[in-house]
Amino acid sequence: MTHTVRSPLFTGPLRSPLRIQNTFANESFMDELCARAGADPVAFRIRHLRDDRIIGVLRAAAKAAGWQAGPRRGPAPGGEGVARGLGIACVAYGGHNGYGALIADVDVHVATGVVHPRRYIIAHDCGPISNPDSLRNQIEGGLLQGTSRALVEEVTWDERRVTSVDWSSYESLHLDYDVPAIETVFVTPSGVPAAGAGETSITLVPAAIGNAVFDATGARLRDVPFTPARVLAALRDAGSAG
């Protein structure tokens, strides 16, 4: 869980300022429980949930992805190989302000530590939809921003000050980034009020990618962003590095 600390530094707006950290912690831990229990991550979550709407998005995402039930964890190939894995994460954003489940299909380049998402499948429930194209754009934009925060964005500082102060020192995804394929599934229960969609998809990305890396390699990532150096360190700890 996270807690808020009053900052002595200038701050500004940020999408999903607290929920993204909580969801990363919660859904990574849930994935660890699944691995320890030898359980399928989708079925295990559903078995311990009571909210029909979050169960609904989990089932919809799994169906769209052609999810194969079973425990997740595969050894990474050695040397120059690429390991591929699937990870899932879900959230009831703000309690009842939007529901989402994301499956990330990810490549892990074992020799370099580079993580590259190949495909995202997301199921989203925000109640009635008035503009499907706009909602899809909102979801896709959140996924890309979440990818940037999961893989490269990081505030840095020295003993005196913050050092990531411009677009040269604070990295984000570049315009030539190889964007993963995105499939969006709208889940629209009847008789429910409209809910939010502005920050639901971004909240899921680090957890889903981290769980996919574990599925591919057996390495558990606990610090965001997932830089190559951190991935290689996790691979060494898991005994999977080439």
Question: Active-site positions?
Answer: 199
User: The tokens of 177 are what?
Assistant: 């980034």
CA angle 106, 111, 120 (to 5 degrees): 5
CB-based contact 123:101 (threshold 8 Å): yes
CA distance linking residue 40 with residue 213, whole number of Å: 16
Tell me the three state secondary structure of residue 212. Answer: helix
**Full DSSP string of 153-198:** ----B-SSSB---STTTS----TT--PPEEEEEE---TT------S
E strand spans, 55-132: 82-92, 99-109, 114-125
CB 59 within 8 A of CB 239: no
Nearest CA among 96, 75, 117, 140 for reference residue 207: 117
Closest to 183 in 3D by CA, of 36, 60, 19, 8: 60
Cα–Cα distance for residue pair 70/237, rounded to 1 Å: 24
Asked whether 208 and 89 are in contact (CB, 8 A), the reply is yes
